[in-house]
């Protein structure tokens, strides 16, 4: 059964890049997208993802606030959150971990690192069946 990854980024090109990297890795995953921290919370309230790839700098509610809110909610507190961000100032990594992120990846994204971290947190999902069609393109 495919695992659900929520990609939260206010830049559609970044979402497309992450989807492409993970699709080419042939992992058995499905995707959902959010462009604000509030959309992340709204989505998680409806359907709990298996993993969240979270940009830290987004409008309405930033990734730091969204991560803290997810971790304080008993329904989503166990969902791994990976910060994927261009925000790489001194102390940002620590701030992201303190907010509830499990890992911190900087942009531009290192393809191999991203795949390895996703596999780590999803329990190394099996390669996708070639007959499987991703309906969330």
pLDDT at 123: 84
User: Strands, DSSP E only, in the chain?
Assistant: 3-8, 29-34, 51-54, 81-85, 103-106
Q: Rounded distance, CA 23 to CA 92, Å? A: 29
Q: Rounded distance, CA 121 to CA 50, Å? A: 9
Q: Rounded distance, CA 135 to CA 49, Å? A: 16
Task: Report the CATH fold assignment for 3-122.
Answer: Rossmann fold (3.40.50)
Domain ranges of the chain: 3-122
pTM: 0.89
Starting at the edge strand found earlier in the chain, the sheet holding 29-34 runs 29-34, 3-8, 51-54, 81-85, 103-106
- Bridge partner residues of 3 (DSSP): 29
Radius of gyration of the chain (CA): 14
- Please write the tens of the pLDDT for every residue from 53-97: 999 999 889 999 999 999 999 999 999 999 999 977 888 999 999
Q: What is the mean pLDDT of the chain?
A: 89
Identify the CA nearest to 84 among candidates 6, 31, 25: 6
Q: How far apart are the first and last CA of the chain?
A: 18
Percent of the chain residues topping a pLDDT of 70: 90
């Amino acid at each position: 059964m495919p695992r659900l990854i929520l990609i939260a980024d206010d830049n559609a090109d970044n979402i497309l890049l992450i989807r492409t990297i993970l699709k080419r890795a042939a992992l058995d995953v499905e995707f959902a997208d959010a462009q604000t921290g509030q959309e992340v919370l709204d989505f998680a309230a409806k359907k709990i993802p298996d993993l969240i790839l979270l940009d830290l700098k987004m409008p309405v509610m930033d990734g730091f606030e969204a991560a803290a809110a997810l971790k304080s909610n008993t329904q989503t507190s166990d969902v791994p959150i990976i910060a994927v961000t261009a925000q790489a100032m001194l102390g940002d990594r620590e701030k992201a971990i303190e907010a509830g992120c499990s890992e911190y990846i900087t942009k531009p994204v290192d393809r191999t690192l991203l795949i390895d971290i996703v596999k780590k947190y999803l329990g190394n999902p099996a390669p996708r069946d070639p007959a499987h069609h991703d309906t969330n393109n």
